[in-house]
Structure 1
Amino acid sequence: MSYIDVFNGDADGLCALHQLRQADPQESQLVTGIKRDISLLQNVQAGSGDQVTVLDISLDKNRADLLRLLEAGAQIRYFDHHYAGEIPPHAALEAHIDTDANVCSSLLVSRYLEDAYLPWAVAAAFGDNLYTAAEQAAVPLGLNDEQLDQLKLLGTCLNYNGYGSSLDDLIYHPDALYRLLSPYADPFAFIHEEPGYTRLKEAYQTDFDNVAAITPDYADDGHALYVLPDARWARRVSGVYANQLAQDYPQRAHAMLTTRPEGGYLVSVRAPLNNKRGADELCRQFETGGGRQAAAGINHLPIRDYDAFVAAFRAAF
């Protein structure tokens, strides 16, 4: 028997896996990538007796490989909050999928584990820009404002690390970042004691300072669209900057277009926080697009489709 853990390389995927492996430590094969690399099951070979855990990647985007693995005899646990489409009925599939806009995969895992490692789920929810859900989930912990802010920054930094057009853009490969987390049952110990977190936090703060001076390429009362340059720092900070803008202007939809080295744009979309829906439907109109109701993206938007995207963005919200 082998254990294979497949997880999105963002805060939600990392914290979901960390909770599960705190509860059930196993030596496992780790399958992950940049945040946008969601077709991860194509990288998995498993058969009879193998246990595959899948965290925070769309079932719909991985349907063919999920069916392949089930037919090969693998047992699969699946936790996710992205658009799933029809969930295959199969005795070997244990699906925990909830696409509510106020839920993330780590909160689903926390629910499954009866909140045994709840602070990690709170950090993940903050990282996924679910501030209200994070604060509500944290109530039983009795944290003070400083501790909540520390978990918020932790989730933001873990999420920041997942953004980029390739692994070369990232501060840490996500499996390396998971291995930094794994010795720490307490997130506050990780925050205060792990030198790798200090490095990640400093990189985030530097990149965020760079982006603060950029003005919108298009803006009206309900929308703002930014175009970021072809630079590693811009690719890294694009998603967390979109999250921050969504918090600052909750009545407005946001789009962050980061120029790709090979041409075109990497797109992050945030629905207005006061009406968290429509981001996934907008992005699925374009090839390589997907996501969830509140936050979605397009891996490659050709330059020729810029005007079409702006029109669709304005119409969607």
Structure 2
Amino acid sequence: MNYDIFNGDADGIIALLQLRLANPVESELVTGVKRDIQLLEKVTVRSGDSLTVLDISMEKNRHALQAALEVGATVYYADHHRYGVIPQHQNLQAHIDLDANTCTALIIDQLLEGQFHLWAITAAFGDNLIAKADKLAEQAGLSKDQAEQLNELGTLINYNGYGSKTQDLHFHPADLYLALLKYANPFDVIADVDSPFYPLKSAYRQDMDKALAVESCHRSANLSVFELPDSAWARRISGVYGNDLANQDPDSAHGVLTDNNDGSYTVSLRAPLNNKQGAGDICSQFDTGGGRAAAAGINALAKADLNRLIKTVEEFYT
């Protein structure tokens, strides 16, 4: 049995998209909302199974990964998040790069020698690697307008991945992946009026307008924090809103809190774009927290711990 196990955001979807455009394989898709990262636990692995795992932290899936290897499965693993200890096993092929200016789709792009390079650029935009993506777009000979189109598409695919459950999303990530698999070129998605691009574009604008009306609840030279309500639109927009804030003020960290209506917040933390470090380490200090250097989150931060989080972030970036 073949399993394709991937993060439901732009990076995870487009990483798999490139692999399967290059090498079509009949497989069972295992994915979920962006924060649903312990995906290996959802698979009952048997000897001889083949697992392709993309854009989810090896550290968070270590036990399930080890168990899969021990029963005789082969695992192809590509990621750019914290990995802990990489198991030394003949059935594991690992491609891990923690560089703050890369993402899983760019790792796959290198391994495929640029076969679907425009898709990789789209993923970099979606993962908010704007400077990197702009440079790659320029090197690829794209016009400014073409680069902006890929930026918008990547952002919309990423936007679709945020929510506390798949019912919050406009498309289940597996369905969005399958819909995009029809297009070898991302510009073909934009050209097709029946593609997912257009409903996502309309929904994104509505959700972002609501977010932009929210005032900050904490602001300093080092950090701005915004609190969004317990609602589906807030859960959908939280991550890309954090990216938007980071792009507007690249010298400051930004936190977006979404009320979980249970005495906790879901947190999206963005390191300053001009100092892309520390976000994953900060969030990992809290239960249910993790991520990478430039962007991280906490699934359930007790409201009583908010001041501790703010103090930790302020001290780190002072």
Q: TM-score, normalised by structure 1?
A: 0.98
State the secondary structure of the residue aligned to 2:272.
coil
Give the match for residue 295 of structure 1. 295
Tell me the alpha carbon deviations over residues 192-244 of structure 1, each in whole angstroms, 9 at most, x when there is no partner. Answer: 21432211111011111111111110001111011111111111101101101
| Structure 2 counterparts to residues 172-187 of structure 1, below 5 A | 172-187=171-186
Q: Does 1:278 align with 2:304?
A: no
Give the match for residue 146 of structure 1. 145
Give the match for residue 104 of structure 2. 105
Tell me the alpha carbon deviations over residues 150-198 of structure 1, each in whole angstroms, 9 at most, x when there is no partner. Answer: 1000110011001111111111110011111011111111112143221
Moved runs in structure 1, 4+ residues, more than 6 A?
none
- Structure 2 counterpart of 1:173, one-letter code: H
Aligned 8 A contact 1:80 1:97 in 2? yes
How far has the Cα of 1:46 moved from its partner?
A: 2.2
Give the match for residue 125 of structure 1. 124
How far has the Cα of 1:85 moved from its partner?
A: 1.3
Stretch deviating more after TM superposition (213-222 or 255-264): 255-264
Give the match for residue 41 of structure 2. 42
Q: Does 1:13 align with 2:19?
A: no
Q: Does 1:308 align with 2:314?
A: no
How far has the Cα of 1:145 moved from its partner?
A: 1.0
Aligned 8 A contact 1:118 1:138 in 2? no
How far has the Cα of 1:49 moved from its partner?
A: 2.1
How far has the Cα of 1:141 moved from its partner?
A: 2.2
- Any gaps of 5 or more consecutive residues in structure 1? none
State the secondary structure of the residue aligned to 1:239.
helix
Cα distance in 1 for partners of 2:139, 2:316 equals: 37
State the secondary structure of the residue aligned to 2:196.
helix
Cα distance in 1 for partners of 2:57, 2:34 equals: 12
Q: CA RMSD in A?
A: 1.0
Stretch deviating more after TM superposition (93-102 or 226-235): 226-235
Cα distance in 1 for partners of 2:98, 2:75 equals: 19
| Structure 2 counterparts to residues 139-218 of structure 1, below 5 A | 139-193=138-192, 194-218=194-218
Cα distance in 2 for partners of 1:306, 1:315 equals: 14
State the secondary structure of the residue aligned to 1:218.
strand
State the secondary structure of the residue aligned to 2:15.
helix
C-alpha spacing 1:139/1:47, structure 2 compared with 1 (3 Å): farther
- Any gaps of 5 or more consecutive residues in structure 2? none
Q: TM-score, normalised by structure 2?
A: 0.97
Percent identity between matched residues is: 50
State the secondary structure of the residue aligned to 1:280.
helix
Aligned 8 A contact 1:250 1:272 in 2? yes
